[in-house]
Structure 1
C-alpha cells in the first residue's frame, strides 16, 4: 500500500469519486449494505476508480456512524467487509486505502466523539492507517477522535473534510474558514479540506478565500449540481470541465495537494482529472491563493442606546409586545410608541408564539425601528426556516439597522396530521447563535456582529441542565438571556444560581409578566410551557374584578422585580393581552421603586 505522505511530497494525491452515486443500490437499500449483499459490485466500483488513475480509495462505509448511533449491530460487519473489499481492490495497484467515516449525530446520550472513536477503533483493529472524516457540517467530536486515533495508531494520516455551501457555510451554519483553522490548530489532523455540496467552480472560489494553510488542502467537489428527474437524482457535470477546474485549483491555490470527487463523479471524471494533473508542471507554484477584491464596506453608524446602557452596568427595560394576528399595524405602532414614551428601551417581538401565526416578527421590528427609532429585538426561531431563509432574513434585518436578535428553538406546531404543516428544525438555538455571529468578520456578509440573546427558563424542572445549555449558548456566541417570568421563590433562587454560574459577562434580563386574574394565572400554570405560578399567588387573585386584578398584578410584579434585581442586569416585561396601559403603569413603578438611574 502506497505511503500517502510520500506521494504528497512528490505530487498531488488523487482520490476516487462518489461511490454512493455511482453504485446503483437496490431501492430502499443503503449503499453500505452492499458490502454484504453485493460485494462483487462494490469491488468492481473500487477497481473502476483505480483503473481510472486514483491513488487512494475510500471504504464503502460513509453511513456507518448513523447505523452505530441507531445501535444497529450490522455496522461492525459492514465495516469489516467494507475494509476488506477496498484493501483487496487496492492491492492490485498498491493504492492507499482510507477508512471512510461520515458525519455522526451528536446527542447528550451518545456524543459524536464516542461514535467516531468506536468506528476508528474498528478500522484500526483491521489495520487502517489512513482515516477520512468527510462531508461534515461541524467539527464536534472530531478533534477528540483524532487525538484518540493518534494514540492508537501513532503514524496515522487523518484527513478531515467539510461539506460547504457556495457561500462558505455548512448546513449547520459553520464557516469553512473557522473550521479549517480549528482543525489546523488541533495538532492532530494531517490534512483538511472541502467536499460535496458545491460544484468545481464554486469550490475554487471557496478555496481562494481560505488562503494558504499549514496543512495540505483537500478539494473534492460534486460533479455539478443535482437535477431531479422523477425519482432519480442526476449530476450532469462533464468530466472535461471537472478536470479542468480542479487542475486549475491545484495550479493556482497554494496548499492544495489532495483532489478527488464526491457526488456524481464517475471513473470518467477521475480519468480526465488524472490526465489534467499529470500535465501540470512537476513543481507547482507556491503562489498564495488569489485575493478576492471587494470594496471596503463602511461601518454603519448606529446609536444603540439599549446596548450602551446595558454595557455601562445600568439596568434596562425591555418589553415584549406580540405582533398583530392580522395585517393592520396601526394599533401596534401606537402601543409601541406609548411604551417607548413610558421608558422602554427595547421592544421585543415574539416569532409566532405557541406556534400560532402572527405578523412576522422581523418585518414588524424593521417597521418599528424605522418609524420610531426604538431599539428592537425580534425573536428568531429555528422552527420555520432553513439556513438559506435564516441568512436572507438576517441580512435584511442588518440592512434595516436591527442589531439584536433573540435566538430560540421555538415551539413545535401542534397538529393532528404529521404532514399537515411541517416544522423545520435544521439547527437548534445554540447553532443558530453561532451562525449569526459568524456572519460578521473580514470578508463576511456583515461589517459588524449582531448581538444575540437567548432564552433562560428559570422554571425548568432540572435547572442544572438548563444552566449547562446556557453555558453552551454563551460558548456559541450569545451575549445574554431573557428569562421566563419570575413568579415563584424558586425562580428567584434559580436566577441567583444563573448569575453565579454564568458570571457578569452574561447579561440577564429577568422576566416579569403581570398576572391579571385567577383564571389567567391558572391558564399560565397549566398551559404555557416554561411558566410556573406559585399557588399562593393564584389564591390571591380569587374573587377580584379586572381593576383589582390589575392592581394586584402590578404589586406582584414589582415585588418580583425587587427580588430579582440583585441578580439581573435589567427586566424583560411581557405584556398580557396587549394591555399597554397596564405596562405603562408597571414601567413607571419599576423606575420609581426598583431602578435607580
Structure 2
C-alpha cells in the first residue's frame, strides 16, 4: 500500500448505473469505454468525474481517478466490435482523459488508475480458466494503461482467486502496481463459493497485489465476509452497492435501487472498524456522488 501512503482517497461511484438511470445513456454490454471516443461522451464523463473532485476537495482527501474501462478487455470488446488495436487505443484514451482531469485540479493530490474488469460476468463465476490463461487475457489491457502512464491498475468485481492471480502476474509483467477487487454474495462468499479470507490468502501466496478492495456488494453482504480473524489489514478499498438486493436480483431489475445514502454511510462505518488498512472509499452499482459524499460526511 506504499502508493496510497497514509492518506485517504476519494474514488467514484457506480459509473454505469449513474449514466444509464440518471442520464439516459445506452450502454450496450454495460460498457462505458466507447464514450471516450465521442465528444458528447467525453463531456458526460468529465462532468461525472468533476463531482468526485469536488467531494475530495471538501473532504481534504486525495482523489483516485479511475478510467471507465471495466469492459475494455478482449472478450467484452469483441462483442462491441473492438479488436486488439481498437482496445489499445481506447484504453490509452481513457487514461489520458483521467490525466486531463488531474491537470485540471492542481490543488488536489491525484492518482490516475486504469480499471480492469473480469473476463466473464462480474456477478457469476461461470467457466474458469487457470491463472496463466487469465494473465494472457488481461495482459494487453494492462500494458495499454501502463503505456498511458497510469499510476496503478485496479481490477474490480472479480469472482475467484484464479483470475486475480492471473491479473497480478500480468500486472507484474508489464510493470504496473495493481489492486484486486473481489465481489461477494449475500453470504459474504465470492460467487465461486470461496471465503474472502481464503481468496486473499490464496492470491497472496502466489505473490499478491499491492492491496485489495471489496466492491459491488452492499455492506450487509460484506459484513459476513469479515467475521473472525483474517488478513483484513490487506483490504485498503471499499466500493459498496447502494442496494441490499442480491446480484441475481440486480441482474433482473428494470429500475434503479439507489438505497439510502445516509444509511449506506452508517453501514460502511461499521465495516471500517474491521478494516485497519482502509484508505480508498467510493461506490459501485446504484451509487452516485450523493452516496460518496455521504460516505465521506461532506
Q: Identify the TM-score tier after normalising by the shorter chain.
A: 0.7 to 0.9
1:205 equivalent in structure 2: 224
2:123 maps to what in 1?
A: none
Structure 2 CA distance for aligned equivalents of residues 233 and 118 of structure 1: 35
Which of 1, 10, 14 does residue 14 from structure 1 map onto?
10
Q: Measure how far apart 1:141 and its partner are.
A: 4.0
Partner residue, 2:70: 62
Contact preservation (8 Å) 1:184, 1:214? no
1:121 aligns with 2:143: yes
Which residue of 2 is the match for residue 5 of structure 1? 2
The 8 Å contact of residues 238 and 280 in structure 2, kept in 1 or not, is answered as yes
User: When the two structures are superposed, what TM-score results if normalisation uses the length of structure 1?
Assistant: 0.41
Which residue in 1 is equivalent to 2:119?
Answer: 104
Partner SS, residue 265 of structure 1: coil
Cα separation, 2, equivalents of 1:132 and 1:210: 25
Rounded Cα–Cα distance in structure 2 between residues aligned with 1:149 and 1:253: 25
**What per-residue deviation string (whole Å, max 9, x for no partner) do you get for residues 278-334 of structure 1?**
xxxxxxxxxxxxxxxxxxxxxxxxxxxxxxxxxxxxxxxxxxxxxxxxxxxxxxxxx
- Asked whether 1:149 is paired with 2:158, we answer no
Pairs aligned (count): 267
Instruction: State the alpha-carbon separation in 1 of the partners of residues 224 and 5 from structure 2.
Output: 23
Q: 1:209 to 1:8 in 2, by over 3 A?
A: farther
Which aligned pairs between 1:417-566 and structure 2 lie closer than 5 A? none
Match of 1:49 among 34, 52, 61: 52
Q: Is 2:19 aligned against 1:23?
A: yes
Which residues in structure 2 correspond to 1:327-342 (within 5 Å)? Answer: none
TM-score by length of 2: 0.78
Give SS of 1:193's match: strand
Are the aligned partners of 2:262 and 2:291 in contact in 1 as well (CA < 8 Å)?
yes
Compute the displacement of 1:6 (Å).
Answer: 5.7
**Structure 2 Cα separation of the partners of residues 138 and 69 of structure 1:** 23
Corresponding residue for residue 92 of structure 2: 80
2:219–2:271 Cα contact (<8 Å) kept: no
Give unmatched runs, 5+ long, in structure 1.
277-597
Q: Which runs of 5+ in 2 are unaligned?
A: 57-61, 121-127
SS at 1:97 equivalent? strand
Secondary structure in structure 2 of the residue aligned to 1:173 = coil
Q: How many Å apart are 1:183 and its aligned residue? A: 2.3
Deviations 1:237-292 (A, max 9, x none): 2111122222332234433333221111111111122227xxxxxxxxxxxxxxxx
Q: Is the 8 A contact 1:200 1:224 kept in 2?
A: no
Q: What is the CA deviation profile of residues 364-416 of structure 1, one whole-angstrom value per residue up to 9, with x for unaligned ones?
A: xxxxxxxxxxxxxxxxxxxxxxxxxxxxxxxxxxxxxxxxxxxxxxxxxxxxx
Cα 1:68–1:107, aligned 2, differ >3 Å: closer, same or farther?
farther
Deviations 1:410-460 (A, max 9, x none): xxxxxxxxxxxxxxxxxxxxxxxxxxxxxxxxxxxxxxxxxxxxxxxxxxx
2:203 is aligned with 1:183: yes
Q: Is the 8 A contact 1:166 1:206 kept in 2?
A: no
242, 247, 272: which one aligns with 2:264 = 242
- The answer to whether residue 225 in structure 2 is matched with residue 225 in structure 1 is no
CA separation in 2, counterparts of 1:102 and 1:130?
14
Aligned counterparts, 1:561-580, within 5 A: none
Asked if structure 2 preserves the Cα contact closer than 8 Å seen for 1:16 and 1:50, the reply is no
SS in 1 for 2:255: strand
Residues 139 and 212 of structure 1, relative CA distance in 2, 3 Å threshold: closer
- Aligned to 1:261, which of 283, 287, 291? 283
Other-structure match for 2:43: 40
Match of 1:574 in 2: none
Report the CA distance between 1:89 and its aligned residue. 1.5
Q: CA deviation at 1:175?
A: 2.5
Kindly tell me: are residues 64 and 255 of structure 1, through their superposed partners in 2, closer, same or farther at Cα, counting changes over 3 Å?
same
